Chains A and B, each alone.
Chain A
Amino acid sequence: MAKDDLFSSTVTRFNRISTPTNILFSLIFIALALIAVVPLIFVIIISFSSASSIQRIGYSFFPKSWSAEAYKYLWNLRDVIGRSFLVSVGITVVGTLLGLFLNATMGYVLSRRNFVLRNFFTKLIFIPMLFSGGLVSTYLINTQVLKLGNTYWALILPIAVSSFYIIVLRTFFQTTVPDSLIESGKIDGASQFTIFFRIVLPISLPGLATIGLFLSFGYWNSWFPAMLYIQSTHQHMYPLQYVLMSIERNLQFLTQNSQFMIPDEALRRLPTESVRMAIVVIVVIPIALAYPFFQRYFISGLTIGAIKG
């Protein structure tokens, strides 16, 4: 049974753990919560540490001096950062919409018990969960046959569909869309297209929101397709996560690609360490701020999928 509230009380007043145990457990979980969050805080602090502080005492939670120079430096590189930010936003938006369409249509079709090809299609989406062509085959097909190399489609299409999402949506449609609604649509002479787009979708927003969120986070965090399919000749197509990977070794990638001329001395003085962390902060903050609000959608999606509805 999928529940939005994970903590509906399984414990009544008379069936609780003892107070000392509660204190112990509470401390444990506070510690675990801190362990989960502290690395991000550390990185934020580093991004605001001055280069001299890092030089002298290394990375620290308590830098000798603070500075926003990393962010100022990034502002000077805003054309490169901005461009990859736009790439990421673009593929996230397009990918999520396209993915929703592809996953929801199949999910809906599979939820119709009378559909003649239902078993066939179910097997069709199930088999790839068991057996895959492997990276080599997929890579060669995508680049040689489908000619997706160095295109934005290479960043969008390969991860647009997932059998997991389809199953979640199928379960969702089965449980929340009453047959009577669809039947009455048919009686009124509506085609399945009309029924799907005008009747079923509008009332399925929670399910769509759930999968939409899965897709969005997936696209925002994706870097592997870029690593495979976008060559260094097309650096303007790099999404943000992949820029982050590219600068791991050196920041030259950024300075090479920027319109703004960075004089050599500035390069020597540049706050490499804090700049790297500042980019991490820019990449992560949207997610870190957004996910607590969207948690319950993820949770309901996970529980439907994992418990097989």
Chain B
Amino acid sequence: MKRKHRFRKEDVELFLLALPTVVWYILFCYLPMFGIIIAFKQFRPTESNFIMSLIKSKFVGFDNFKFLFATPDAGIIFRNTLAYNAVFIVLGIVIPVTLAIMISQLHSQKLAKVCQTAMFLPHFLSWVVVSYFVFAFLSIDKGLINQLLKTMGRNPVEWYMQPQYWPYILTLLHVWKSVGYGMVVYLASISGIDINLYEAALIDGATKWQQVKYITLPMLKPIITIMFILSVGSIFSSDFGLFYNIPRNSGPLINATQTIDVYVYKALMGMNNIGFSSAAAFLQSIFGFITITTANWVVRKIDPNNSLF
């Protein structure tokens, strides 16, 4: 239905009401989007005006990208980002869904509420704070884990120097911090399922397990699908706080823990390497866009109701 392009007074007022937010989006979202061409230029701040500098900087095509991929870092950061995210996505659905189903079955609702509240706490802590928690456990001389190892007669481990443990450590921490949140989302869906479905199934002689398989899980499919698309869509992004703060910038750990986001930050701020940094950031944005639109397209083929757009 074509709208007549007549701006009523109401429309003008609404436009003005939303204008500050529109300006915010232009300044903080869209302007940087145009700035992404810096990846294709050899940026030299020749003019006092940044935008003029950007325009005047030499266009170097894919040079930044070529040089970036000549370094071993490029492969490592993409591998790390995708691998960690793949694990996070799977665990981030399987574990909270399972726990949500389990906790909704507890006889004591009071216990369920208390446990759910407690499990929600990690979500509200920043990774900076959590890095101190981790340090209390993994500190080489004073940490709890090493002390336990000593009492068991084993040698203490220099945790912050041994990369092989860190995929497990980071994954465990990610699950620890996010499971409370995930559980709440799925619990909310579960609590919306019509109880009569279960009672009808019970009359038909269904076991608890069958009820879960044939009622709960299918009813959760929409929300699981949405969460899955959102996760896959951001498969090229990582939680900067987790990957930067927890390993405490320890050298030996870098190859096992550095993701694209951490690399972009370090290249930009530490090494002042705008070329590499912007090339990696550009790839991250482009690939991220492709993955989220693809994920949504796939879901739309399967079940149109559940797609995002």
Contacts and interface: CB of A to CB of B under 8 A. Distances in A.
A187 interface: no
A132 B191 contact: no
A40 B284 CA distance: 35
A26 B122 CA distance: 20
B185 interface: yes
A140 B144 contact: no
A145 interface: yes
B195 A9 contact: yes
Nearest to B131: A248
Contact of A138 (B32, B133, B136): B32
A3 B131 CA distance: 34
B106 A22 contact: yes
A14 to B, nearest CB: 7
Contacts of A132: 29, 32-33, 285, 288
Interface of chain B: mostly helix, strand, loop or mixed = helix
B147 A303 contact: no
Contacts of B139: 58-59
Interface stretch (A70-78, A220-228, A258-266): A220-228
B31 interface: yes
Contact of B36 (A10, A36, A133, A283): A133
A105 B20 contact: yes
Given A137-B38, A192-B14, A284 B284 contact: no
Interface residues of A, number: 113
B42 interface: no
Interface in B132-175: 132-133, 136-137, 139, 141-144, 146-147
A248 B248 contact: yes
Contacts of B17: 105, 108-109, 192-193, 196
Interface in A160-201: 160-161, 166, 186, 191-193, 196
B70 interface: no
Contacts of A29: 102-103, 106, 111-112, 115, 119
B120 A295 contact: yes
B129 A244 contact: yes
B62 interface: no
Nearest to A31: B115
A291 B20 contact: no
Q: Which 9 A-B pairs have the closest CB atoms?
A: A133-B32, A134-B281, A144-B50, A137-B35, A58-B142, A192-B13, A33-B118, A39-B133, A221-B126
20 contacts: A10-B193, A25-B102, A33-B119, A36-B118, A36-B180, A39-B133, A58-B143, A102-B20, A103-B21, A109-B15, A121-B22, A131-B288, A132-B285, A134-B285, A140-B35, A140-B38, A221-B126, A241-B128, A292-B117, A306-B185
Interface of A: 1-3, 5-12, 14-17, 19, 21-22, 25-26, 28-30, 32-37, 39-40, 42-43, 46, 54, 57-60, 101-103, 105-106, 108-110, 112, 114-117, 121, 124-128, 130-142, 144-146, 157-158, 160-161, 166, 186, 191-193, 196, 217, 221-224, 228, 241-242, 244-245, 248, 273, 276-277, 280, 283-284, 287-288, 291-292, 295, 298-299, 302-303, 306-308
